[in-house]
Amino acid sequence: MERAYRLIISCPDRVGIVAAVSDFIAVHGGWITEAHHYTDPDSQWFFMRYVVRASSLPFGLEGLKSHFTPVAERFRMQWCVYDTGINKRVVLLASKQAHCLSDLLYRWRSGEMAFDIPCVISNHDELRSYVEWHGLDYRHFPVEAADKSIHFAAVEQALAEARPDVIVLARYMQILPEQICAQYPARIINIHHSFLPSFVGARPYHQAADRGVKLIGATCHYVTTELDAGPIIEQDVVRVGHHNTVEDMIRLGKDVEKQVLARGLRFHLEDRVLVHGNKTIVFG
């Protein structure tokens, strides 16, 4: 894939934003390869994602930023530019279950998704050998049921050292303390094993079996301080029937979980997800 800049913008909607941005790109000879915009009708807030070939512009990332700043200021934009040549740093948190972690590691090592992994953090040691076969740093911080604060202090410090662009809870099974959540807004991605808002909290497949639903699902969302209530990035479902036990649902659900998490993370890594209040715009 050719190197490109991704320009992500949000601001109050008004006449002339697209004209100003696309004129700015055109004046500098920029070649747009992807373009999305959307205005939320309720808030009249405008969202935009442009992808421009790096080689078509006469300046680099910093030059692009400084030249664009006057345009951004004119429209009071919140904005970022990302360079596709720079991988995002993704810290993975897992527990004992490997389905999501294995899936993401396959996508990473095969080059299907481009990102760096400073370390994998777990409260158990089971997955060490598998992770280390990949040449990755495995950090094991046990959880004491009586006092989880030691675990979370270690996690917090490891995260700080890893300088992650995004943190993925790949079936980590622990509820991150508010203090950590607050440090990484819209940068912690969780996979919840139900079709939210159905079956918030623990043991969602047992809840689903009790209710007798005919579809079960998974939800990839940003973590906020409210449990299972953050902005939803992606969801999917799979059909179940009366003959499926809870164990079947757990097994079928795993396939949905890993697909949904991988899609959600891909959207995030490609800067396709813009958060607006408790909802997401996903420029797919």
Q: Any idea which residues carry the catalytic annotation?
A: 228
Residue type, 79: W
Residue 110 CB, nearest distance to a copy of itself (Å)?
A: 6
Residue 243 CB, nearest distance to a copy of itself (Å)?
A: 6
Cα-based distances in Å from 95 to 123, 171, 272? 6, 6, 28
Residue 91 CB, nearest distance to a copy of itself (Å)?
A: 21
Residue 30 CB, nearest distance to a copy of itself (Å)?
A: 7
Q: Is 22 in the site for a copy of itself (CB under 8 A)?
A: yes
Q: How many residues does the chain have?
A: 284
Kindly report the number of other CB atoms within 10 A of residue 165's CB atom.
19
Convert 190-222 to b/e letters by CB count within 10 Å (16 or more is b): bbbbbbbeebeeeebbebbbeeebeebbbbbbb
Tell me the two tokens of residue 247. Answer: 């164990």
Give the per-residue contact string, 166-205, with a copy of itself (x = CB under 8 A; - = no): -----------------------------xxxxx------
Q: Are 7 and 78 in contact (CB under 8 A)?
A: no
Binder of a copy of itself out of 88, 192, 254, 268 (CB under 8 A)? 254
Instruction: Rank residues 103 and 271 by Cβ distance to a copy of itself and give the closer one.
Output: 103
How many residues touch a copy of itself (CB under 8 A)? 66
Footprint of a copy of itself on 97-136 (CB under 8 A):
98-99, 102-103, 106, 110, 112, 129-130, 133
Give the per-residue contact string, 202-241, with a copy of itself (x = CB under 8 A; - = no): ---------xxxxx-x-------------xxxxxxx---x
Residue 231 CB, nearest distance to a copy of itself (Å)?
A: 6
Give φ, ψ of 142 to 5 degrees.
Answer: -65, 155
Contacts of the segment 53-56: beta carbons below 8 A, 24+ positions apart: 53/2, 53/3, 53/4, 54/2, 54/3, 54/4, 54/5, 54/83, 54/84, 54/85, 55/2, 55/3, 56/29, 56/30, 56/31
Residue 131 CB, nearest distance to a copy of itself (Å)?
A: 11
Footprint of a copy of itself on 140-169 (CB under 8 A):
none
Q: Is 38 in the site for a copy of itself (CB under 8 A)?
A: yes
Footprint of a copy of itself on 255-284 (CB under 8 A):
255, 259, 262, 276, 278-282, 284
The footprint of a copy of itself (CB under 8 A) covers 15-16, 18-20, 22-23, 25-27, 29-33, 35, 37-41, 56, 98-99, 102-103, 106, 110, 112, 129-130, 133, 195-199, 211-215, 217, 231-237, 241-243, 245, 251, 254-255, 259, 262, 276, 278-282, 284
